[in-house]
Structure 1
Amino acid sequence: MINIEYQESLYYYPKFIDKIKGKTVGIICDINTEKYALNVKDMCDKVSKTLICTYQDHELIPSEDKIEVGIKFAEDVDYVLVVGSGTLNDMGKYIGTVLNIPTGVFATAPSMDGYLSKGSALYEKGYKVTKEVNMPADVLVHLDTLANAPKLMIASGVGDILGKITCLTDWKLSNIVNNEPIHEEGFKLMEEALNACLTDFDAIVNYNKLGIKKLMDALITAGLSMAIVGNSRPASGSEHHISHYLEMDFVKKQLPVPFHGIKVALGTLVALELYHGLLEVTDLPHKEEITQLVNTLPTVNEVKDMLIKAGCPIRFSEINVAKETFIEMFYNAHKVRDRFTILTFISKLGLHDYFLPRVLEKYF
């Protein structure tokens, strides 16, 4: 049973504290999250022996050498507690899985949906890989910390959640085209969390604590829905494939990597453009069903306006993507994962050349 505890301003989580009494806790953070880690250490010190490992990287890449540092640090602890978000969370889960010890996370930003994911995105020999990992035992949520996270990290979380619009639609598309089964419980769980964020969107983008809690709830729910389904289908589709493609390119070129959800947001715009563009295609397979599906979607401009309100970039050039990289991404992102999405459908229909001028003009 996963323990998810919320506090508004206090650094006190009773169920977690009971769990670590008398144990050795290894806190893993980086230079960006160390100030929060020291507060968490003070809390843990009251009931446990607490060690801390601080990565000095301002932009931590989860490569083999960094993972090895974490494994060595955690060899003699009973519990690994990450203080951070995306990369640190993935590293902590993997380290705990390798060492067969429980892990938890003190979330420092509502920036991505992987807190409870059973996969960790890591790098091996420069390539992004997803490792199957154990879910964390505890998620500690501190609303003051989340509401005061860097605005671009909150925008990233918004982008990751808005990406569920296209990701869930990709699942429906594959059901229409390939008869891929839809796991009703996992689908509904993610859909309801998305809709809750859409309903309270203004509270989120105004950094209201209740709005930020709603965003964090949805990000956590993504992990739960993936666990129920047994894979990432409820939370990751075409928009994530675009993000993954770009991330590998940034790392390969040794360029700063934009936040995951920012890339997802941009991928969502492209995917929505393709969905609405399908209505123009003559001799479209499954035309009636796909037309009905597309007509349930928001317009691209509606989603674009939401991203602007959240402070997200709305063009790939804004995050330092070169034009040639954008074109390569458009033609090849569907190859990143073996999963049917709108990108796969466009490729099978031979429509890349048809749509390229429009997506270049609108989103590059």
Structure 2
Amino acid sequence: MEVPSLDSPDSIVFKNADGTYTARMYTHQVNHQVGGVWRRINRASSAGVVAGSHPGTYVADASYRTVPASNPTGQGNSSAATYVESGVTQNFDGNGQLYVGQYQGHNYNSFLQFGGFGTQFANDYVVNATLWLDTEFSGLQEGLTDCSVQPVNVATVKSAWDASKINSFPGPAAATQIGTASFAAGTDCANGRQWEGINLGSKTAMNWAHGWAPNYGLVLTAPNTAQGAKEFYANDPYIAVEFTPNGAGATYSEVSYASPWNNKPGWGQVTVQNEGTATWTPTNGYKLSYQLYTISGTTRTLLTSPAATPAVMPSTVAPNHPVTVTAAIPALAVGKTYQICWDMSYNGTLFSTYGVAQTCYNLPVVNNPPHC
């Protein structure tokens, strides 16, 4: 007879009268909504890894993101660009130039808007974004004739602003810095006028593409020194956006699971958030899959056998919506440490192939001895 009992604060075991296991089931915190958008309940550890609620941890970071061989890219052009100058009250919209740093004792910040970004990249899963600037001038090294390599910083803007109205330094307040790069280029520099890129990561572009955060544009700043001065052409800044093909994009959170045994399969129940442009249906090739690894110290080894058993969608799932899916986990040999990494697939190709991060959990295996 199976007698369920609380084995730990987050697991229940089912045992026969003779002490053999029939199942151990772990429970997890369920997704919740913030501002109408579904999000995982995350508890950050000191190491930057997100702690799960069953033994071990789950991980959703760059170390579990495959570098894609080739993804589609798009170019989001700026819709407005201007700058502000210390010591004067004047609007420079339409001037044709952007300035940062210090020139002739005046400090400068520049501002960019990307008004059509959310429409152009609606619901795309962004793998990376880079801001490109046509650099026409850089300040000289002190006492020398060569241009000085100095940083240019990029931050999001905290509130809405109008390029035709801002007229005083420092301009609209910055929110969060999202990128920086040090370089020198310009018509008076040894390397001449150059396009220079500043990596922005993916978070801000994802937020704008999905409407998860308002798009108030970007502010460019630099050290307020003559060496930090730079000039950019105002009419052509753009963000190069790398995104996934086939509308792929997802995040994962286990709800509960039953450990596999040495001689019987288990299962995992996962809430998956559709963070791509495609709509998933039970028949159009989108399935919940996973990869299994053995862990030895700091080494992960992918298991090619037994194979994963992808699970079809139980219903139609539109972009920015969640679905809870149950997938079978095969029986595994005892005596090893396992990790399961959840990963959507499209026609057999894992989303992680495109750069979508997996979410990984440690996976206990129950040794169920034979009945006597």
TM-score bin, normalised by smaller chain: under 0.3
Greater C-alpha radius of gyration: 2
Q: Give TM-score, length-normalised by structure 2.
A: 0.22
Bigger helix share: 1
Q: Give TM-score, length-normalised by structure 1.
A: 0.23
Bigger strand share: 2
Higher relative contact order (CA 8 A, sep 6+): 2
